[in-house]
């Protein structure tokens, strides 16, 4: 039965594993459930603790390489966004291969779950494609997680870049394969000089980067832009894991949720009332994440202001309530999140964080060659 089903998936171009024994039965069962009911299927042991995977480094890229542009989440309504994304990648020095289903639409999604998963799987299976760029976030990436061929991805490690809803892909790929992924600008996002410089330092120069906020003084008496706040001073080393808080909390209890033991957690979000931030932080407390981490970095929570009614905690108060009792080095205000200028964070890489300086620094290469 399983072999016949895998043969069907290969014919449809959804998976590329030649031997069904190479794919975990958990992945098979999830795929079967999703295809049968169009609802993501969570296996019975999904809530079991995931052991930290061995780090898998993607292969290095260079100018002249071909990169794949895909849309694993929401649809893109403005056709010019496809043009902007392609032109930006060409300007960075790449040749661009578009996903077959890039401009599809299924409700708010960029195609059906099968179509979006197929594009991602095909880009990783394609030896010509050296990196995968997500055109945008939005919503829906978690729906395709059971359809991804993680065994094949592990055999063809390559950078995958995006943020916001793409956190679902970063978490799933890291938890299933150990591969370092990259939380940073989407293809249709802002490619200003700061982001371009970050990209070139990370991917072309392959520097052991230190991530520190850019702080233009402007005409004010004091610097106000991109200020950090140290919640607890200290230095700590560990793997940096995290991403968009909403997506991260939604993955709690699934097999795609990373093991945060001895890690440095980074989070960001946009357009969430503080009470929702509080609810999601409580999820990270109750599922044991906060008790495992060694350090904490809060990026930007854009447009996360209290609403009307009887009043609300502020985001600062929420973060203080959950993080200060941990007694770990922590700071807020990092240039991570829904910002024109943002860090490219290598998810799963070993870093040293200095919460007094508001920095984190790569300690090891994030590429295999």
**Averaged in consecutive runs of 10 residues, what is the pLDDT profile of the chain (369 residues)?**
50 51 44 43 41 90 98 95 97 98 96 98 98 97 98 98 98 98 96 97 98 88 91 98 98 98 97 94 98 97 79 91 98 96 98 98 95
- pLDDT score for 130: 98
Q: Which domains does the chain have, with CATH numbers?
A: 210-362 (3.50.30.60)
- pLDDT score for 14: 53
Structure tokens at 188: 């249709």
- pLDDT score for 307: 73
Q: Which residues are catalytic?
A: 164, 268, 338
Reported as a single tens digit per residue, the pLDDT across 198-234 is 999 999 999 999 999 998 878 888 988 899 999 999 9
- pLDDT score for 305: 85
Distance CA 175, CA 348 (A): 10
Residues, the chain: 369
Helix axes 274-286, 315-323, angle to 10 degrees: 10
- pLDDT score for 169: 98
- pLDDT score for 225: 87
- pLDDT score for 310: 64
């Amino acid at each position: 039965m399983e072999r016949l089903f895998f043969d069907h998936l290969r014919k449809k171009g959804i998976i590329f594993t030649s031997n069904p024994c190479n794919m975990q039965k958990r992945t098979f069962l999830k795929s079967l459930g999703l295809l049968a009911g169009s609802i993501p299927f969570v296996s019975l042991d999904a809530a079991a603790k995931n052991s930290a995977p061995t780090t898998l480094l993607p292969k290095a890229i260079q100018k002249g390489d071909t990169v794949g542009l895909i849309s694993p989440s929401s649809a893109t309504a403005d056709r010019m966004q496809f043009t902007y994304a392609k032109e930006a990648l060409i300007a960075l020095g790449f040749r661009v291969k578009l996903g077959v289903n890039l401009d599809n639409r299924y409700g708010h999604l960029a195609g059906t779950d099968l179509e979006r998963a197929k594009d991602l799987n095909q880009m990783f299976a394609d030896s010509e494609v050296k990196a995968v760029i997500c055109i945008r976030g939005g919503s829906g990436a978690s729906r395709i997680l059971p359809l991804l061929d993680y065994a094949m991805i592990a055999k063809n490690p390559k950078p995958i870049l995006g943020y916001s809803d793409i956190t679902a892909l970063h978490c799933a790929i890291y938890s299933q394969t150990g591969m370092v992924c990259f939380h940073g600008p989407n293809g249709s996002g802002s490619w200003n000089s700061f982001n371009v410089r970050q990209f070139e330092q990370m991917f072309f120069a392959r520097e052991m980067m230190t991530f520190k906020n850019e702080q233009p003084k402007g005409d004010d008496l004091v610097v106000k832009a991109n200020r950090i706040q140290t919640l607890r001073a200290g230095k700590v080393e560990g793997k940096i894991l995290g991403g968009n808080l909403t997506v991260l909390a939604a993955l709690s209890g699934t097999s795609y949720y990373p093991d945060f033991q001895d890690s440095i957690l980074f989070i960001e979000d946009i357009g969430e009332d503080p009470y929702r931030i509080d609810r999601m932080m409580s999820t990270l407390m109750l599922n044991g994440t906060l008790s495992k981490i060694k350090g904490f970095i809060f990026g930007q929570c854009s447009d996360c202001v209290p609403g009307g009614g009887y009043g609300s905690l502020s985001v600062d108060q929420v973060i203080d309530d959950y993080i200060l009792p941990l007694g770990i080095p922590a700071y807020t205000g990092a240039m991570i999140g829904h910002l024109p200028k943002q860090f490219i964070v290598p998810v799963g890489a070993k870093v040293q964080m200095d919460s007094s300086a508001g920095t984190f620094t790569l300690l090891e290469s994030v590429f295999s060659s």
